[in-house]
Structure 1
C-alpha cells in the first residue's frame, strides 16, 4: 500500500521509535502537542490517523469532524477516553497497547504490596527522622496468603506471574470464561471474596466497573484484606475505602490511581481537597503513587513498538492468498506430576537432563540452521493450566504467525480459549481439539532461553 497519502497526527509525545518506524513505513507524521481540542478539531479532517495518550476525550463532536479518519491509536492500555461505539460505527480502527506496559504494572503492584505488608515506607521515614523502632515496624509475610485478582487480562496475568515465587494461592475473577492459567485459578466473585487476603484490581473503567468497590462490595469479603489498585481510580469510592481502612476491614491500601484524577491522568482535582483524600494523605497504611505503574523507561519503548506493529498490521496485512504455515515443530511436552519439583530433580540426576525449576530445555536446529527450543515441563497435579481439558498432559506446538493462525482457526470453527498473550519469550494462544483437549500454540523467541 502507498502510505505516503496517510497522514498521522501525533497529539502527545511518545518514544521516538514510534515516529521513526512509522516514517520508515512511508507514513507522513505531523505533531501538535499544544493546541486546544477545538483547534485540533478544525484541522482533523486532513488526517487519516491519530496517535494520542490521554490528552483529551475523543467524543462524537470530534469524530464528526474527523471525516477522513481511519484509525485512533492510544499509547496506553485502555480506550475509555474514546467514544468507541461511535468510532466503530464510522469504521475507524481502535488501537491500544495493554501488552506494552503489563510487565511494568505487574512489578509495580508487587512492589506496593510488599512495601505495605512490611511497612517499608513508614520504617524508612522513621529512620530518617532519627528513630530506630524495630517492634513498631514489624511486618507480615506474603507466603501462605490468598491473593485475589479481579480482571485477568494482560495486567492481571502479569501480576499473577510475578507472584509465582511467593508460595501464595492466586485466584482470579473475570467476566470472560476460561481465562485462568497455571498462575491463577479462575473462581466466582463470591468465592474470591470468601478466601482473599490480598485484593488487586486490574480492570478497565467501564459503566460496569465504575464505583464497583463500594461499602457493600468491601463488606462482602470474609477476611480483612490488603488492597492494591493499579487500574482505574474511578472504580473505587474513596470515602467507602476510607471507612474500611478506619474499621480495619482493609488492612492497608496501595493506590497508583485515584478517583479524583482528571481524565488526562496528568493532574488531580482543582480546589479544596476532599476529606477522604486528606485521610489517604495522612494514613500510615496507605501508599500512593501518581499513576506511574505502567510508566517505566522500558514500557515507554514497548508501548510505542506495540502501536507501530498494530498500525502496520492494518496497512500491510498478511497475504491471505499465501499458504499459511501452521505447526512448525514441537514446542513442549507438559504433564501433571504429584511432586513436580522432586521429579525434575530425579530426571536431572539420573537421566542427565539440564533442568531448572520449570523442567528442561532441548535445543535443535531447523532446516535453515536456526536454533530452536522445546520445553519439557512437569506441572503440579492440581494445575488449572490444562483446563478445560481433563487430560494429564498438554501439547505445545511451535508456529510462525500466531495471530494469523488463530484468526484462520477461528474462521474454521476451532474453539479458541482466552486471548493470545505476549511475553519476552514469545506469543501464546490456546485452542481445543474435537475431544476438548487444550493445545498451546507458541510463536517463540528462542533466544530468551539461552
Structure 2
C-alpha cells in the first residue's frame, strides 16, 4: 500500500534513491519542467513530498498540494524554493548539503586552471594549426592569492585544493560554523584588494545579489580571474562583461548564470575571456547518486516525523 506520492522535478532519480522511496508512488515532472507544470502535477497528484532538481517551487505549487509536508532539494542550494511561503504553510525545506561538494569544488578548480592556463583557447588554436609557444604566457598559481566567498562544504574542499597548489587562501564567510585550517579570515574589501583570483561558493540571498558588481570589480587587482560555480545572480553580468573587455578581469570561468538555461544571444557567448559550462559542476555519476540519496533520506526523515505526530 502506497504511503503517498513524491513528485520529482526532473525525468529521473538515482536507482539507489528510488529504492529508498519504494513505499511511495513516484511522479516525474520531465526534463525541463516549468513552474506551471509543477503546479499542475501538484494539483493532479497532491504529493506528500517534492524532490527538487530543476525549476522552481513556489506558493502556487504548495497551495495545489494540501498534503505536502516537505520539499527536499537534490543538492545544496535552496534559492529555487520559496522558503517563506513554505514556512507559512508548515512545509519543511531540506537540502542534501555536501552531497556534491567534491564534484563542484573540482569544477571550480578546473575553471581556475583553465583560465590561468588558457586551456580552451590553446586547444582551439592547436586544432586550427597554430603553434603559439613563442607568444603565449600563462599565469602561475603557486604563490598567488585566491579569495573565497563562502566556506561551506564546497568552499572548504576548494580551499584545500588551492592550498595544495601553493596558493595563499583568503576566506570570507560570516556564517561559517568551523573555520578551515590554512584559510586566512578576510573582509570583502581585503578579498577585492589582494586576490589574484576570486571564487564564489556562497548561496544566493537578497543581501548578496549582484555582489560582484561594477563597483567591487573596480576594487580588484587588474587581471583578476573570476570563478563562479555557485549562483549566477551573485554577479552583475553586464559589469563582468565590461570588466573582461577592459582587461580589469583577465578571465572568467563560469558554471552558473542569472537566467538558466542560457539561450542563444547571451552577452557572454562568442566573447574572448570567458570559459563557460552549463551548470554541471555537481553533475557527476557519483554526485548524482549522493544527491539523490541525500534528498530521499531528508524527505523520508521529515515524513517519518509527520506520521509520528
Confirm or deny a common fold (TM above 0.5).
yes
CA distance in 1, matches of 2:302, 2:177: 29
Q: 1:186 to 1:213 in 2, by over 3 A?
A: same
Find the counterpart in structure 2 of residue 346 from structure 1: none
Find the counterpart in structure 2 of residue 50 from structure 1: 50
Segments of structure 2 that go 5 or more residues without pairing to the other structure are: none
CA distance in 2, matches of 1:138, 1:194: 24
Counterpart mapping for 1:28-427 below 5 A: 28-34=24-30, 36-44=37-45, 46-55=46-55, 57-176=56-175, 179-259=178-258, 261-262=259-260, 267-269=261-263, 273-274=265-266, 276-278=267-269, 281-283=270-272, 285-315=273-303
**Counterpart contact for 2:51–2:296, Cα < 8 Å:** no
**SS at structure 1 position matched to 2:190:** helix
Q: Which has the larger radius of gyration?
A: 1
TM-score (norm 1): 0.63
**Counterpart contact for 2:99–2:290, Cα < 8 Å:** yes
**How big is the alpha-carbon RMSD for the aligned residues of Structure 1 and Structure 2?**
2.0
Deviation at 1:316, TM superposition (A): 5.2
CA distance in 2, matches of 1:30, 1:244: 47
**Counterpart contact for 1:119–1:137, Cα < 8 Å:** no
CA distance in 2, matches of 1:172, 1:214: 19
Deviation at 1:159, TM superposition (A): 1.0
Per-residue CA deviation, residues 25-79 of structure 1 (Å, 9 max, x unaligned), is: xx312213248234213224x3211122123x22112212221111111212211
CA distance in 2, matches of 1:114, 1:194: 21
**Counterpart contact for 2:29–2:41, Cα < 8 Å:** no
Deviation at 1:138, TM superposition (A): 2.4
Per-residue CA deviation, residues 244-280 of structure 1 (Å, 9 max, x unaligned), is: 1122211111011123x23xxxx2247xx25x334xx
TM-score (norm 2): 0.89
Find the counterpart in structure 2 of residue 7 from structure 1: 5
Q: 1:296 to 1:161 in 2, by over 3 A?
A: same
CA distance in 1, matches of 2:176, 2:285: 34
Segments of structure 1 that go 5 or more residues without pairing to the other structure are: 318-450
